[in-house]
Amino acid sequence: MTTPRDLLITASEPASGRSVEQGDLSLALAGAEAVDLLAAGAVTLADGRLVPGERSPLTDPLLDGAAAALNRQAPYETVADWLWRRGRDLTSVYLAAMEAEGELVEKRRRRWVVLHTTAIVPGDTTARRRAAERWAAQEPVLAGLGAAVGLRDGAPPAGDPAAGVLAAVDDAVGELSVERRRRARRQEDAHAENVRRGY
């Protein structure tokens, strides 16, 4: 399993009791890919930029897709630029792939007699157990990504190459949150103006 997969499983756990915004999760998944690419030697971090290494196939097709998506032209891409570019709709990509593999499944919930809702939850798999063990052990990278998207309290750890990626994820999620508040304020202002004008 990979860090993005572990993060998505963790975020999908009903027991977490916390919901994660899809945009925040997409940014964190892109960060998790960058961390795994660093660990695999497919990329290095130099002055905040992701510098690709030799192109060789990786064991996970989604991570292999991430490696193929790296910008291979100097001066290369900053971690922040990677998060925004690669993170676009990345949650949907992982959801579709992991549902197809049976790692995530739809669970029907009955709310009223005539209304049923569905939720995507982790299947009863070895991957789910591994992700749960990693989360329970507070493995620094997974814990840092979880903190960035609000799954747990805390701050990204420091002291290794992954720390720069985790800090960038934290900053990007913060920027997205500010933008959401701005949009909400604009909508509230527009609504108030419409009410004032009698619409």
Domain of 149, in residue numbers:
3-197
Task: From 48, 49, 92, select the one nearest 70 (Cα to Cα).
Answer: 49
| Per-residue model confidence as pLDDT tens digits over 69-126 | 999 999 999 999 999 999 999 999 999 999 999 999 987 655 554 444 457 888 889 9
| Per-residue model confidence as pLDDT tens digits over 147-182 | 999 998 876 555 677 899 999 999 999 999 888 777
Three-state secondary-structure class, residue 107 = strand
pLDDT at 190 (0 to 100): 64
Its pTM stands at 0.86
Predicted confidence (pLDDT) at residue 197 exceeds the cutoff of 80:
no
Total domains, the chain? 1
| Per-residue model confidence as pLDDT tens digits over 28-54 | 999 999 999 999 999 999 999 999 998
* Angstrom distances, CA of residue 84 to CA of 30, 55, 171, 173: 8, 22, 11, 10
Three-state secondary-structure class, residue 117 = strand
